[in-house]
Amino acid sequence: MTDEITLITQLRKFLQQKRYVVVFDDVWKTEFWEIVKHALPFNDRGSRIIITTRSDLIASFCKESFSDHVHKLQPLSQDKAWELFCKKAFWSEFQGCCPKELVKMSMDIVRKCEGLPLAIVAIGGLLSTKEKVPLEWKKLHDSLNSELECNPHLTSITKILSLSYHDLPCYLKSCFLYFGNLPEDYSITGPRLLRLWVAEGFIREKKGKPLDDVAQEYLKELIHRNLVQGLFSELDYEILRKYRIHDLLREIILSKAGELNLSQVLEVGDATFDGRSRCLSIHDARENVLDTSEYSRVRSVFFFNTNEMPRSFTVKLFKRFSLLKVLDFEDGRIDYLPDEVGDLFHLKNLSLRRTKVSILPKSVGRLHNLQTLNVVESGVRELPIEIFKLYKLRHILAHSHDFEIKSSFYSVRGVKVHEGVGCLNELQTLASIEANHHGVGVFEDLGKLIKLRMLGISNMTAERGRALCDSIQNMVHLNILLVGSISEDEIIDLQSISTPPPFLAHIYLRGRLERVPNWISELQNLVTLVLFFSSLEEDPLSSVQALPNLITLSLNHAYDGEQLHFEEGGFKKLKKLTLRELKGLKVVDIDNGSLPVLEELAIGPCPQMEEVPSGFLQLKSLKILDFYEMHREFVLRMQPDGGEDYWKVKKVTTIRLRYRIKGEKYQIYKLNDSDLSERLQG
């Protein structure tokens, strides 16, 4: 309590003479406001406090404290509701318009949703998967009647959303309910989610398709049904994309998962585990959660926001949950993995991501069913030779960022592995391993991993380049390649690949290049190319401008020349271009007809560049501009004759102009969809 009082006092003192805006989102407890309000002084300086909540009680409670008004969000107008429904229900056909024979029933459905966007989106998403014929529409229309007419409030919405769950095919229901293991508002990366589904046995095999690909199809279907939200733009590549569910859907999931004994969530103050559920998600790692007599059904255990876990806790965990398939300690406060982990014969997914565990016991060699080993950003620096007994391993994730390096060339550090990794012929992911730890033997082993889709190599030296190239040529399914050199001056020699993997889509190279490897220009499926510290002397654009599917290009410390030229007809699909830390760059020329669909442009710091790129104002698809610590002359020339109105006409939504004069940072110049929210200063 003393710490709370001290913090409140300090915050109140800090804000006393300031004009401030504070936003508290999704408040559920009146106790929260009782504490927080004492930290916010009423100082007659035009400050604003905004609280969002789904509780009328809290809204009225806060109003009494503020003597201010409550704004209730209004439902969508009929026109807007209809527009939203059509976008969701007919997104893939009929040009987003409703066929005549479905208009009446569709209008009835929209009207019964009473302008509530969540209900409209969910029902529209459900209908998007149906045949666009009156009979299918009528089935849903009739089942909605009783639900919507009785109670238009939250309970009714929950019932409506439950219809989306009940309409799911059996193979998707378990996948959807699995989100119940995650905390509220938690987002999970796509690859992690898919690996968990596979480990749980939720994914049905399809002839000629890896399970991960089938899992991706399942996820896409849930997204199209608007049951899962994707927190990404189309410019993000798969490994970065995150997903979550709406809070209301989580309530449905927890209810259904409880009924089916699929999962149980233990949060602060909850009773001990009842032992009936298949999955246990612990959001408060108290040792007494294991004090129960029945564990036979438990197959998965997750930890979130946990306290320090003593060694006795983990030992007890492994002894009592002997049939585990999934054990996820991600972000858990654990520093030790006991030998008893080797007794978990059925374990398929073990995650120690962002834990303090530094040593994997030799007993992991007994985990003969293990598919995924994740030690990303953990203390693990070397994988024991015993992992070569794990012939079912599909994913080894082991990279970390070495922030101990003081120079700007921070490296992505891998782990040490012994020679013999080629025996793991089911591997699809190996990211990352250290190159300088090995002789040529380990690179020959890599050539045997023909199922690899993602390969990460750190601490590369020039002398190992040819051996690596020989191995990469055998990886016909490779999709993502990350290679980092041992130092900023060390050359990455990847020139000797004669037949590159045909499906290679994402390349990240960190280290010096004599030139852009010739084979990159042959990659018809390349989507992302990122070069760090390449120090190229020749303009690299000519070798990649004709790539038919390149969407993202990033040059960071990658070019030492004075001029870049984007030629007419080049980069036909490029949407995101980043030019960072190009210290010698003075001129950027953009021909008319180049970069026709570019949406995001980021430049800087480029201290020698005073002129805005020629042809820049003709880029018709620009939405986001980001110029970081550019020369002041460049900043001043950023405002065309049309001023603010020019950018509005161009449909640019965001402009960031960040620069310094005599060490002082200057304000960002922004646009949103219709208004200028902040003006350029200086």
**CATH number reported for the structural domain that contains residue 112 in this entry:** 1.10.8
User: Residue 677 has what pLDDT?
Assistant: 34
Say yes or no: 674 and 544 in one domain. Answer: yes
pLDDT at site 125: 82
pLDDT score recorded for residue 207 = 85
Express each pLDDT in 379-412 by its tens digit.
999 999 999 999 999 999 998 876 444 445 556 7
Residues 666, 559 share a domain: yes
**Domain that includes residue 207, residue range:** 170-252
The beta-strand segments (E) located in 90-241 are: 188-189, 229-231
Q: Which of 160, 193, 153 is nearest to 177 (CA)?
A: 193
What pLDDT sits at residue 423? 94
Same domain, 547 and 656: yes
Beta bridge partners of 564: 588
Residue with tokens 């009842």: 274
What pLDDT score was predicted for residue 272? 61
Q: What is the pLDDT of residue 231?
A: 79
Q: What is residue 643's predicted lDDT score, i.e. its pLDDT?
A: 58
Rounded to whole angstroms, the Cα distance separating 411 from 404 reads 9
Same domain (yes/no): 543, 662? yes
The domain boundary residue, chosen from 201, 218, 252: 252
- What is the edge-to-edge ordering of all strands in the sheet holding 188-189? 188-189, 242-244, 229-231
What's at 219, amino acid-wise? L
Q: How far apart are CA 255 and CA 137, in angstroms?
A: 28
**54 in a domain, yes or no?**
yes
Q: Considering the domain boundaries, does residue 60 fall inside one? A: yes
540 with 682, same domain: the answer is yes
Q: Are both 675 and 628 inside the same structural domain? A: yes
Paired sense of beta strands 676-678 and 670-671, if any: antiparallel
Give which of 114, 54, 50 is closest to 85, Cα–Cα.
114
Distance CA 444, CA 422 (A): 8
DSSP string, 329-386: -TT-------GGGGG-TT--EEE-TTS------GGGGG-TT--EEE-TTSS--B--GG
Is residue 669 included in any domain, yes or no?
A: yes
Q: Are 164 and 225 in contact (CB under 8 A)?
A: yes
- Tell me, what CATH number does 232's domain have? 1.10.10.10
Task: Evaluate whether residue 588 is within a structural domain.
Answer: yes
Residue written as token pair 């710091």: 605
Q: How many other β-carbons are positioned within 10 Å of the β-carbon of residue 487?
A: 15
User: Do 187 and 137 lie in a common domain?
Assistant: no
Domain boundary among 12, 45, 66: 66
- pLDDT score for 153: 42
Domain boundary, last residue among 127, 161, 195: 161
In a shared domain, residues 592 and 676: yes
- Residue 329 inside a domain? The answer is no
Residues 655 and 589 in one domain: yes
Q: Is residue 580 part of a domain?
A: yes
Instruction: Note whether residue 22 is domain-resident.
Output: yes
Q: What is the model's pLDDT at position 289?
A: 64
Contact 304, 283 (CB under 8 A): yes
Asked if residue 239 and residue 116 are part of one domain, the reply reads no
For residue 127, the surrounding DSSP H or E stretch is: helix 117-128
Q: Which residues of the chain have pLDDT under 70?
A: 1-2, 28, 54-57, 63-68, 114, 143-157, 160, 232-239, 248, 268-275, 284-296, 402-411, 436-440, 632, 635-636, 638-650, 658-682
Q: How confident is the model at residue 630, as a pLDDT?
A: 78
**Which pLDDT belongs to residue 650?**
67
The predicted structure's pLDDT at residue 475: 95
**328/193 Cα distance (integer angstroms):** 12
Report whether 338 contacts 360 (CB < 8 A): no
Give the pLDDT of residue 297. 79
17, 131: one domain: no
- The number of domains in the chain is 4
Q: Closest Cα to residue 349, out of 492, 199, 220?
A: 199
> Do 101 and 38 share a domain, yes or no?
no
Kindly state whether residue 437 falls inside one of the protein's structural domains. no
